[in-house]
Amino acid sequence: MARLPILHYPDSRLCKVATPVETVDNDIRTLVNNMLETMYAAPGIGLAATQVNVQKRIIVMDVSEQKNQPLVFINPTLIECEGSIESEEGCLSVPGICETVRRFNRVRVTALDVNSKSVEIDASGLLAVCIQHEMDHLDGKLFVDYLSALKRDHIRKKLEKQTRSVSRIKLSS
Ligand code: ZN
């Protein structure tokens, strides 16, 4: 297993739309394992392939307290959505930022698992929010896209400043 570098907003590669996985083979399973390791190490509760610069429709999550219930959805599709919930969201690609976002409170999802078996899951609350957040990544969308242009601009400038100071530190060492 290996940890993968995570792209940071406003990297334009985060805006790419991912394509469906055609065959769930060993390469995909290796990618999934690396994504899980990267997510747990970050630490985070979800990661989309887009965030590690792979444009394939794969998301991994674990919203359990003990971090022992990994979920892997390949080619996920929302087939039912209802209700609404507002919660504070953060993102491994938008480090240090937390903002309130409104989403569906309950979703039903179909996807393939790592054995290419079709699965269907009903989720609500945190898991439902996480699924929608990660699926947005596959369509090149970030949670900051739900905020006002003013707020988004402020976040972008803040992160660009952070990136610049990190590169300066790297250059001088
Ligand atoms: Zn995210």
Beta-carbon contacts of residue 68 (< 8 Å; ≥ 6 apart): 62
> Tens digits of per-residue pLDDT, 121-151?
999 999 999 999 999 999 999 999 999 999 9
Whose structure tokens read 């390469």? 27
Distance CA 41, CA 77 (A): 27
The pLDDT-based confidence of 169 (bands split at 50, 70, 90) is: confident
> Tens digits of per-residue pLDDT, 25-38?
999 999 999 999 99
Please give the model's pTM, rounded to 2 decimal places: 0.94
User: Is 37 annotated in the active site?
Assistant: no
CB 109 within 8 A of CB 77: yes
Could you tell me whether strands 58-61 and 85-89 are parallel, antiparallel, or unpaired per DSSP bridges?
unpaired
For residue 46, how far is its CA from the centre of ligand 1 (angstroms)? 7
Distance CA 108, CA 122 (A): 4
Which candidate in 37, 80, 134, 160 is catalytic?
A: 134
> Tens digits of per-residue pLDDT, 36-74?
999 999 999 999 999 999 999 999 999 999 999 999 999
What letter represents residue 30's amino acid? T
